[in-house]
Amino acid sequence: MAAPMFFCVVVTVTIVKLLLIPSYRSTDFEVHRNWLAITHSKPVSQWYYEDTSEWTLDYPPLFAWFEFLLSHVAKYFDPAMLKVTNLNYASFATVLFQRLSVIVSDLLLVYAVYECCQCVQVMGKKNSPQLLSQPMFVLAVLLLWNFGLLIVDHIHFQYNGFLTGLKLLSIARILQRRHLEGAFWFSLLLNFKHIYLYIAPAYFIYLLRAHCFTRSNRDGRVQWTSLSLLNLFGLGVVVLEVFAISFGPFIAMGQLGQVLSRLFPVKRGLVHAYWAPNFWALYNIADKAATAVAVRAKLLSPDDITQATMTGGLVQEYTHNALPTISPLVTVILTLAAMMPALVHLWRRPCTPRDFLRCLVLCAFASFLFGYHVHEKAIILIIIPLSLLAVESRQDGQVFLLLSTCGHLSLFPLLFTQAETPSKVCLMLMFSLFAFMALGSLHGSSKRRPYCLPLLSPVETAYIIGLVLLQLYCSLGHHALGLTTRLPFLPLMLTSVYCALGVMGSWLKFYFTTLTSVQHLKQS
Amino acid sequence: MDTRFGTLCTAVVFAVFVRWAVSLNSYSGMGKPPMYGDYEAQRHWMEITTSLPLKQWYFNGTDNDLLYWGLDYPPLTAYHMWLCGKVAGWINPDWTALFASHGYESYEHKLFMRYSVLIGDIVIYIPAVLLYCFLQKKLSHLQKVLLSCVLLLFPGLIIIDYGHFQYNSISLGLTLWAVIAISHGHEVIGSAAFMLALCYKQMSLYHAMPFFCYLLGKCWEQRWKKGFVSLCCIGVSVLATFTFVWLPFLTEKDLFLQVVHRIFPVARGVFEDKVSNFWCSLSVVVKFRNFMSQEGLLSLCLATTLLGLVPSSLDLLFRPSIAKFKLALVNSSLVFFLFSFQVHEKSILLPALPVCLLLPWRPFTSTWFLTIATFSMLPLLIKDGLVIATLVTSVLFIIAVELGLQGVSSDPTIGCPVCMWSSKNLPWLPHRMFFYVVKSAFYASLMGALFLGLLSVVIPPPSSLPDLWPVLISVYSCLHFIGFTLYYHIVQLMAPGAKETTAQKAKKTQ
């Protein structure tokens, strides 16, 4: 891809971000403003103790330092936003500064995407005259115009852009087989936002397997004697150094326990107020159905049912009636169990960076599907690395189209204000139209079925059409039928359950292709 | 799904997205009692038209205070407002309650108003632009998509309609439908569409002269009998459209005269606020309001406007062609903007529409003009709090032109008749020099605009000269517009007529 084209993609998406400045902002805006204030006006020792606002600092130390840096620019915009007691302060200058800080910090994402585009491996078509058939261009658009990142960062307000940038940078370094740099960027990332622990197992196994063990046996198994202590030592130094810089001061001050208790609060419920489209959404709905059946069959008396369950999402604590209630430990075990085949698969092969990428996607999938109190925004963690695979192979392209459509649609309830509806619909349409067109023309449509979306099978096409119909019902039909007062949560529940089916489906499909790819390797 | 259709959809969705994102900003007069702004004017018209019988719409009365945003647009606007008002009243009666709703502002109401603009745009303007682009035979599919995307991204119209709040896309869209119909030989439909535009907004008169001259010239060219018949058809279509729209107001003479009086407010000043037209710029140096009466000014404006219209109109009348027609639309509306009476800064959108149509042939000068046109409205947009949106959409537009049409980097001398003439007849001139001079003039002009804009946003004007920045901006833009008027006149006058083009083609084939 020519550099000017990349530049144009960057500039246009930046303009889109600038246009979104006056959009609705969630409470996360106030969260980050409060963190600016805390880091600016309190000594480091107070950062993790300060609780004037309910939005206490609950990101790892490096993110706090990042806010500290930002606050020194912020004072030139509006010093009033840096007062801890100035709760819910949102002057025009504050909004402008915070929005611009997200847009500017996205430059790291831009650089990382550029690096990733250089790593794309595709035979043949690399310099096709048609823009839509150039994998690098397609990848750049899929990553930079990612619908989830755009709405979560630039409407809802968060800093996922530059964090994703760090992640992509570490992936790019690993794809270039610069393992130590990859490890460095990833440990940096972990110290910015600990949600990326979800994908840490993939890093751990891959770096151990490919960096510390230098040789494989004939059959692809690891050669245990080839452990390079030097490599292991180097890796350990890089990772521990980052952690030491980040957590060191707090350990020295004896605050580690306090910091960790802020980072991992355990008082939340199994599902978020709005169910993320994962396994637990299906579990909850199964519970509801089972409860209804049990009440009919007189196995359960209506008095035993906690009424909160029927409002479906109003309360955070969720008690199951017919099915067993899930404890955090169960979710951890299930998550690890879901990751295990992928990790074992990665370990037992002379693994390439692409195997690592697949394993990373599977780890993200497992934590999203089975994790405790998962937020729907975590779907971005899966979609972003999957984009890299989608431009390289047809099968992954299929999974990507299915997953990105239903995953992004499940983000719709995040923006519930009416004025944002056209924005999100337009952005989603643009992204999906582009993804379908680009991946369709990239992977050729030799066996193009009539009446099907590009790359998708009839069942998947029907699923996507159902998704559109469901969305129409939720945004128009439900209100028109006058059910808004009687069943206020039905649209949200339908959306998350329907999307959960799609996410589960794409997970199984992706797992299947990953585990069966051994045969492809042997054949070739 | 077809890729061709997909790219088109993506482009249109992007254009809609930009429109909606701009509409999230504030509107004119937001939270500024007692008069508010154009947003309140439109809302007030919805209130008036739905609450009062049609005969009272344009009359001052106990229920209708004409001094508070009295209806001063032609009937089609009133009908449109009636329709919107009916929907508004159905959603929430408070929005259109007589008197009680004055200055009504709420989150939902703003949404409703923004949607009403978007719907008008999607129904009338956007399809017209798409049709215009897809009827350009020489372009490939991708070029057509890119061209329509560029045309849809013209910032001036987006900012005024979705930021400031007006329904310009309807009248301009109707004009565009008329241009499309006439360029493809459907003169009857075209003249009816233009009549509708006129009945929606009297400002469309800026475009009337070229329509008249082109249609008359076309009929003149045909054989006597056929020409007369087509002239009659056009006349019938114009009169029928006019009668159809104005029917309820034609029943009484007083009623009709009152509407006309409201539409053409000769009693108002020669220009509103600071307009980048000739009179406003001149008034910086010559305080002609001190020694000329209102009537004197009115006749002076009329005389200069008519005089300015003569060259382009006569040229179009005697050598009609589609290319000349579009250029004459630019020229006539620019002359109106520069010299006529009661000009608003937003009226620059009228010349901007035909300049948009010239984009594929003269991307460089058109981009220049359109950017300055947006810039000329800056004082108004600063007042409305739309500075960021203006800047961002303008940059987006310039990038879109560069990407879609290779406009800014293209050779500005291409298609410029003066350059062609001079390179043929004056070969000793350094033409490459000329190319660089124009290029640097373009960038210098943009930098100047940026600088002035920055000044007016950042630095408060000296207390003795509170209007310093708006005046500087309007003089700066006015100088540009005068230059563009001359340029487009030269281009039009030197362009060959339809007959000459066919003669040349015939020669070539021989």
pLDDT at A314: 42
CB B384 within 8 A of CB B164: yes
Q: Which of B203, B231, B208 is nearest to B306 (CA)?
A: B208
- pLDDT of residue A312 exceeding 50: no
Mean pLDDT confidence for A293-316: 62
B50 vs B86: CA distance, rounded Å: 6
Q: Predicted confidence band at A52 (pLDDT cuts at 50, 70, 90)?
A: confident
B510 vs A230: CA distance, rounded Å: 84
- pLDDT of residue A265 exceeding 70: yes
Q: Predicted confidence band at B268 (pLDDT cuts at 50, 70, 90)?
A: low
Mean pLDDT confidence for B421-429: 74
Residue of B nearest to A428 (CA): B13
The C-alpha angle with vertex A73 and arms to A69 and A76, in degrees rounded to 5, equals 155
Low-confidence winner among A25-34, A437-446, B148-157 (lowest mean pLDDT): A437-446
Mean pLDDT confidence for A209-222: 81
- pLDDT of residue A123 exceeding 80: no
Beta-carbon count within 10 A of A377 CB: 20
pLDDT at A128: 65
A289 vs B313: CA distance, rounded Å: 77
Q: Predicted confidence band at A304 (pLDDT cuts at 50, 70, 90)?
A: low
B62 vs B56: CA distance, rounded Å: 10
Candidates A132, A422, A430; nearest CB to B3: A132
Cβ-Cβ contacts under 8 Å, A133 against chain B: none
Instruction: Decide which of A426 and B415 is more confident.
Output: A426
Q: Which helix (H) or strand (E) holds B441?
A: helix B431-458
Cβ-Cβ contacts under 8 Å, B404 against chain A: none
Q: Which of B352, B349, B362, B351 is nearest to B323 (CA)?
A: B362
- pLDDT of residue A523 exceeding 60: no
Mean pLDDT confidence for A248-259: 91
Interface A-B, measured as beta-carbon pairs within 8 A, has a size of 75
Determine the residue among A5, A14, A19, A147 to mutate to test chain B binding: the one whose Cβ has the most chain B Cβ atoms within 10 Å. Answer: A19
- pLDDT of residue B423 exceeding 80: no
- CB-CB under 8 Å, B1 with A423: no
pLDDT at A183: 95
Task: Give B402-420 as a DSSP string.
Answer: HHHH--TTS-TTTT-HHHH
In this predicted model, what pLDDT tens digit does every residue of A31-49 receive, in sequence order? 999 999 999 999 999 999 9
3-state SS, one letter per residue, for A204-264? HHHHHHHHHECCECCCCCECHHHECHHHHHHHHHHHHHHHHHHHHHHHHCCCHHHHHHHHC
CA distance, residue B37 to nearest chain A CA (Å): 20
CA dihedral sign, ordered A149, A151, A152, A155: positive
Domain count, chain B: 1
- CB-CB under 8 Å, A430 with B17: yes
Mean pLDDT confidence for B262-274: 72
Tokens coding A85: 């007691």
Candidates A8, A22, A433; nearest CB to B25: A22
User: A238 touching B, CB under 8 A?
Assistant: no
CA dihedral sign, ordered A228, A229, A231, A236: positive
Q: Which of B251, B314, B274, B259 is nearest to B489 (CA)?
A: B314
Q: Is residue B197 part of a domain?
A: no
Chain B residues whose C-beta is within 8 A of a chain A C-beta are 1, 3, 6-7, 9-10, 13-14, 16-18, 20-22, 24-25, 107-108, 110-111, 114, 118, 388-389, 392-393, 395-396, 399, 403
Residues in chain B, how many? 510
Mean pLDDT confidence for B483-494: 92
Instruction: Determine the straight-line distance between the first and last CA of chain A, rounded to whole angstroms.
Output: 29
Mean pLDDT confidence for B426-434: 73
Angle between helices B168-183 and B126-134 (to 10 degrees): 30
- pLDDT of residue A315 exceeding 60: no
ipTM at complex level: 0.92
Low-confidence winner among A66-75, A134-143, B256-265, B447-456 (lowest mean pLDDT): B256-265
Mean pLDDT confidence for B87-94: 94
CA distance, residue A447 to nearest chain B CA (Å): 14
Alpha helices in B201-293 (DSSP H): 208-221, 224-246, 253-263, 278-285, 288-291
Q: Is residue B426 part of a domain?
A: yes
pLDDT at B215: 93
Q: State whether residue A300 is helix, strand or coil.
A: coil
Give domain limits for chain A. 279-325
Selection from A337-351, A399-413, B462-476 with the highest mean pLDDT: A399-413
Residue of B nearest to A451 (CA): B1
pLDDT at B33: 83
CB B262 within 8 A of CB B70: yes
pLDDT at A524: 38
pLDDT at A521: 46
pLDDT at B309: 94
A240 vs A374: CA distance, rounded Å: 28
Ramachandran bin of B68, using left for φ above 0, alpha for ψ from -120 to 50, beta for the remaining angles: beta
Cβ-Cβ contacts under 8 Å, B107 against chain A: 418-419
Low-confidence winner among A266-280, A304-318, A416-430, B396-410 (lowest mean pLDDT): A304-318
Mean pLDDT confidence for A318-334: 82
pLDDT at B415: 63
Q: Is residue B158 part of a domain?
A: no
pLDDT at B222: 84
Q: Which of B288, B272, B439 is nearest to B344 (CA)?
A: B272
- pLDDT of residue B452 exceeding 80: yes
Residue numbers of the domain that contains B422: 265-503
pLDDT at B351: 96
Helices (H) and strands (E) in chain A, counts: 22, 0
Low-confidence winner among A9-18, A62-71, A302-311, B37-46 (lowest mean pLDDT): A302-311
CB A464 within 8 A of CB A453: yes
A257 vs A251: CA distance, rounded Å: 9
Mean pLDDT across chain B = 89
Instruction: Decide which of B494 and B15 is more confident.
Output: B15
Task: Give A424-459 as a DSSP string.
Answer: HHHHHHHHHHHHHHHHHHHT--TTPPTTS-TT--HH
Q: Predicted confidence band at B407 (pLDDT cuts at 50, 70, 90)?
A: low
Mean pLDDT confidence for B252-259: 89
Mean pLDDT confidence for B459-473: 88
- CB-CB under 8 Å, B392 with A15: yes
- pLDDT of residue B432 exceeding 80: no
User: A427 touching B, CB under 8 A?
Assistant: yes
**Token match 């620059």: residue?**
B348
Beta-carbon count within 10 A of A32 CB: 22
